[in-house]
């Protein structure tokens, strides 16, 4: 069985922690591991499990690769979607990458499942049904009349603790959700599936042949780069956008649903995260440096600074290095309104944190002025930045820890701790860490324009866009 980890979501309702360049699946929200890492690790113990295939946004490829590496997982492939087209095309691309008789276990990478052993038992049942040619989904046993989820209605004849799917239904109003709950015939739609790759493609060909044709053409034209499968943008952008539910599951007569009661939560809001987080005696879920007095039933997250509260209740307070968000717990479904306003104002806080991860390490913007910017840069052992130059800025580098190999024009020098160098405007340069410990340095930029887009790359080991170096 091959796990297919879908990692294309944006997680806007968990702003300011979740940003478009680092959405919630890459964050350690409920444990020390990220949600992506938890998705794999809750499967450990399932027999005959193959290395996973990850499907992700092209911009997130290095985070996916690095986070899997951190937990010693070598993926079968990382399929890069150049544009988002919802879950059906993403699953189709993965299905095209595996033998048709292999069972795929399709898992979103941003869910919480508290009882991993219960989930694993359901996975084993799903594999057996998938081997028989069924398209299996996992229906979450509802605990309350939830209006934020779609529902699955089961049929009557049970087989191996599973039921034929009678219908997929849209998100209901509260009264309808209560009827669903009382009937015992409805489950929350989890978005998790198991089926043979060939059976899924056969049903997709039956119900949406255009989607399959575009996915097949885009996959055949893909470029392979180490673990990455780069899907053709020009072809894939013509693909119809649709969920796997609408494209296949609602139409097929092969659908089965397995009831799952394992502490599932899709962490779709701050209040949902409060639900699954351990709480103190006053009902507060606290992460980071937080001091509370007469505070009750609140979610308080501090990334950097001390957050102190007095005499408040039912609030969500989230502090990051560049933003603070405060909202009543019953309004957190509307956080997207804040994100929309940030987009209208073209604020960078909607896309990136102050700390920005790159394939070679990360940088943290410490200070920004009108004509200067200061960064803390950390380069992983053996890694290097691209060969590049800037039209509008010069750079001063001071090594704090480790050793830097600096290529500056025709010159190549080693810079060790407490030493510095200067990169004049317009000079082609490269920074490399030749050592076995992380390289830490301070960079001071000065110039008329300090945007990240003032980088002309001439060579890059990570496959980013380059320009031809003119002699």
Structure tokens belonging to residue 249? 């599951």
Give which of 381, 397, 398 is closest to 432, Cα–Cα.
Answer: 381
H helix runs in 161-208, sequence order: 174-183, 197-207
Coil, strand, or helix at residue 133? coil
Query: What average pLDDT does the chain have?
Result: 93
Distances (CA, A) of 295 to 14, 35, 284: 22, 28, 7
Beta strand pairing status for 53-57 and 77-81? parallel
Q: pLDDT tens digit string along 148-187?
A: 899 999 998 776 689 999 999 999 999 999 999 999 999 9
Q: How far apart are CA 439 and CA 180, in angstroms?
A: 57
Q: How far apart are CA 15 and CA 91, in angstroms?
A: 27
Give which of 154, 136, 248, 147 is closest to 201, Cα–Cα.
Answer: 248
Give which of 282, 393, 285 is closest to 332, Cα–Cα.
Answer: 285
Q: How far apart are CA 211 and CA 200, in angstroms?
A: 13
Q: pLDDT tens digit string along 279-299?
A: 999 999 999 999 999 999 999
Q: Which CATH number fits domain 355-459: 2.60.120.10, 3.40.50.2300, 3.40.50.12780, 1.20.1090.10?
A: 2.60.120.10
Give which of 45, 33, 29, 35 is closest to 6, Cα–Cα.
Answer: 35
Q: How far apart are CA 106 and CA 126, in angstroms?
A: 11
Q: Which helix (H) or strand (E) holds 388?
A: strand 387-389
pLDDT bin (cut points 50, 70, 90) of residue 451 is: confident
pLDDT bin (cut points 50, 70, 90) of residue 471 is: very low
pTM: 0.88
Share of the chain above pLDDT 90, in %: 86
Task: Measure CA of the first residue to CA of the last residue in the chain; give whole Å.
Answer: 52
**At residue 470, does pLDDT exceed 70?**
no
Domain boundaries in the chain?
2-265, 270-341, 355-459
457 backbone dihedrals φ, ψ, rounded to 5°: -95, 135
Cis ω for the linkage preceding 16 (within 30 of 0): yes
Q: pLDDT tens digit string along 358-382?
A: 889 999 999 999 999 999 999 999 9
CATH number at 2-265: 3.90.550.10
Q: How high is the pLDDT of residue 467?
A: 62
Contact 386, 431 (CB under 8 A): no
Neighbouring C-beta atoms of residue 145, cutoff 10 Å = 16
Share of the chain above pLDDT 70, in %: 98
Q: pLDDT tens digit string along 17-62?
A: 999 989 999 999 999 999 999 999 999 988 889 999 999 998 899 8
Q: Which residue has the higher pLDDT, 415 or 48?
A: 415
Determine the average pLDDT of the residues in 121-125.
Answer: 95
Structure tokens belonging to residue 280? 């103190």
Beta strand pairing status for 355-358 and 361-368? antiparallel
pLDDT bin (cut points 50, 70, 90) of residue 453 is: confident
Determine the average pLDDT of the residues in 337-357.
Answer: 92
Q: How far apart are CA 184 and CA 152, in angstroms?
A: 11
């Amino acid at each position: 069985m091959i796990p297919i980890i879908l990692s294309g979501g944006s997680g806007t309702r968990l702003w300011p922690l979740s940003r478009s360049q680092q959405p919630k699946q890459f964050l350690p929200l409920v444990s020390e591991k990220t949600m992506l890492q938890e998705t794999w690790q809750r499967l450990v113990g399932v027999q005959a499990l193959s290395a996973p295939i990850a499907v992700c946004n092209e911009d997130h490829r290095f985070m996916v690769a690095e986070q899997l590496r951190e937990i010693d997982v070598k993926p079968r492939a990382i399929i890069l979607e150049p544009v988002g087209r919802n879950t059906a095309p993403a699953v189709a691309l993965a299905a095209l990458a595996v033998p048709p008789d292999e069972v795929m276990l399709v898992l979103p990478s941003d869910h919480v499942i508290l009882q991993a052993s219960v989930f694993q038992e359901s996975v084993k049942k799903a594999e057996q049904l998938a081997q028989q040619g069924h398209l299996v989904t996992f229906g979450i046993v509802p605990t309350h009349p939830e209006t934020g989820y779609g529902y699955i209605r089961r049929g009557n004849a049970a087989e191996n603790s599973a039921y034929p799917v009678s219908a997929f239904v849209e998100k209901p109003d509260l009264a309808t959700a209560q009827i669903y709950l009382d009937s015992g015939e409805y489950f929350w739609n989890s978005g998790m599936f198991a089926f043979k790759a060939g059976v899924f493609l056969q049903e997709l060909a039956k119900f949406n042949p255009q989607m399959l044709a575009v996915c097949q053409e885009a996959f055949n034209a893909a470029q392979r780069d180490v673990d990455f499968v780069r899907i053709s943008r020009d072809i894939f952008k013509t693909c119809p956008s649709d969920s796997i539910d609408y494209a296949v599951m609602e139409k097929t007569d092969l659908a089965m649903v397995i009831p799952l009661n394992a502490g599932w939560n899709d962490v779709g809001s701050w209040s949902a995260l409060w639900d699954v987080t351990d709480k103190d005696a006053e009902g507060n879920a606290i992460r980071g440096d937080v001091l509370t007095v007469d505070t009750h039933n609140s979610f308080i997250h501090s990334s950097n600074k001390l957050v102190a509260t007095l005499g408040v209740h039912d609030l969500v307070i989230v502090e990051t290095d560049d933003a603070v968000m405060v909202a009543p717990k019953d309004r957190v479904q509307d956080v997207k309104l804040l994100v929309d306003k940030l987009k209208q104002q073209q604020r960078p806080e909607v896309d990136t944190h102050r700390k920005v991860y790159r394939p070679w390490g990360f940088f943290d913007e410490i200070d920004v002025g009108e004509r200067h910017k200061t960064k803390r840069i950390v380069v992983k052992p053996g890694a290097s930045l691209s060969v590049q130059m800037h039209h509008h800025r010069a750079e001063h580098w001071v090594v704090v820890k480790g050793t830097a190999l600096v290529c500056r024009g025709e010159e190549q020098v080693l810079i060790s701790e407490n030493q510095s160098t200067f990169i004049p405007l317009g000079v082609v340069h490269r920074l490399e860490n030749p050592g076995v410990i992380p390289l830490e340095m301070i960079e001071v930029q000065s110039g008329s324009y300090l945007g990240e887009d003032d980088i002309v790359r001439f060579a890059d080991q990570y496959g980013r866009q380059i320009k031809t170096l003119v002699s």
